[in-house]
Structure 1
Amino acid sequence: MTQHRFHLHQSLGYQITMLARVNERRFEQRIAEYGLSRVTWCVLLAAGEEGLATPSEIADFIGIDRTAISRALRQMEARGLITRSSGSGDGRSIRVELAAPGQAALQAVLPIAQENAAYFEAKLTGEELAELRRSIAKLLQGEPRIVAKL
């Protein structure tokens, strides 16, 4: 029986991973001057643009586990980007809101996020982009959502 070689650089998983890394690196380098990481940016976006207010909602939106969101929120609160307060009821629910510096950072970085997305999307025609989105949706169909443990 002949064994076939596996061509790493031609494998779909490798290519998708490399594209994600290039995209993330380009974005992270540009938001670093604002003292933000991809995770802190996503928290700002979740709370400021999506109206999500609980740590679990924000963690689900980003796709990270509860430990990672707790750590990120503590760091962001210490930096004055967000405030955390007890929600209504028994005091166990925490509400997250953007503080003024967090809102300012969100507004400063929104155009960078939009430009980063546009940079990669501009490499494709409208038809290619639509087909890529359909293909990604098809590949993800029926797959469990992965939660990152950052």
Structure 2
Amino acid sequence: MPPPPPVSDLTTHLGFWLRTVSNHVSHAFAAKIAEKGVTVAEWTVMRTLYGKDPMSPSRLADEMGMTRGAITKLADRLIGKALVRRTADPQDGRAQTLALTDRGTALVPDLAKLADQNDAETFGHLLPAERDVLEQSLKQIVAHRRITALPIA
């Protein structure tokens, strides 16, 4: 039997290293905010709503690059936790809007501090110039690939 053809090693791919770091950052952050009773996806919705006027689920879906169905499911979970409220749109009684509750608004800065802490734990050892190069490189990839959906998991 002939030997199998040579193939590249996993570690020769940039995607391998990106995924390794991404998994670590995501799991560490998820554990931190789980203590506050929210998921990463819920945090992303809350941060998107933070400081904004009530918005329709469809607008929120567009801003986040998600489906309306996904937004509805996340909104339902956040409403159940009393972090988001759904109300009738004052200009169109048939439409609905989503907004943070007072409790949700108060929680966002605490969650943002955890995000900042998580970022510092993973990237804080980088020199400012190294961090800038990494950030610009990742942003360039996002722009080149036309990635618009917010990461939620």
Cα distance per residue 1:74-133 (max 9 Å; x no partner):
111122111111213333432111112212322322211111122223121111111112
Structure 2 unaligned spans of 5+? none
Q: Read off the aligned partner of 1:123 and give its amino acid letter.
A: H
Q: Read off the aligned partner of 2:18 and give its amino acid letter.
A: I
Corresponding residue of 2:48: 46
Determine if contact 1:52/1:58 at 8 Å carries over to the other structure.
no
Determine if contact 1:59/1:66 at 8 Å carries over to the other structure.
yes
CA pair 38-93 structure 1, distance change in 2 beyond 3 A: same
In the alignment, is residue 62 of structure 1 matched against residue 74 of structure 2?
no
1:25 to 5, 24, 27: 27
- Give the 3-state SS of the residue equivalent to 1:34 in structure 2: coil
1:7 to 6, 9, 13: 9
- Give the CA deviation at 1:146: 5.6
- Give the CA deviation at 1:149: 9.4
Query: When the two structures are aligned, how many residues end up with a matched partner?
Result: 149
Corresponding residue of 1:74: 76
Determine if contact 1:27/1:113 at 8 Å carries over to the other structure.
yes
CA pair 52-126 structure 1, distance change in 2 beyond 3 A: farther
Q: TM-score, normalised by structure 1?
A: 0.84
CA RMSD in angstroms comes to 2.5
CA pair 99-52 structure 1, distance change in 2 beyond 3 A: closer
Q: TM-score, normalised by structure 2?
A: 0.82
More displaced stretch, 23-32 vs 51-60: 51-60
Corresponding residue of 1:37: 39
Distance 2:62 2:14 in 1: 26
CA pair 141-126 structure 1, distance change in 2 beyond 3 A: same
1:102 to 90, 104, 107: 104
Distance 1:5 1:125 in 2: 35
**Percent sequence identity over aligned pairs:** 22
- Give the CA deviation at 1:141: 2.9
Distance 2:61 2:121 in 1: 27
Q: Read off the aligned partner of 1:21 and give its amino acid letter.
A: N
Distance 1:123 1:59 in 2: 35
- Give the 3-state SS of the residue equivalent to 2:98 in structure 1: strand
Distance 2:92 2:54 in 1: 20
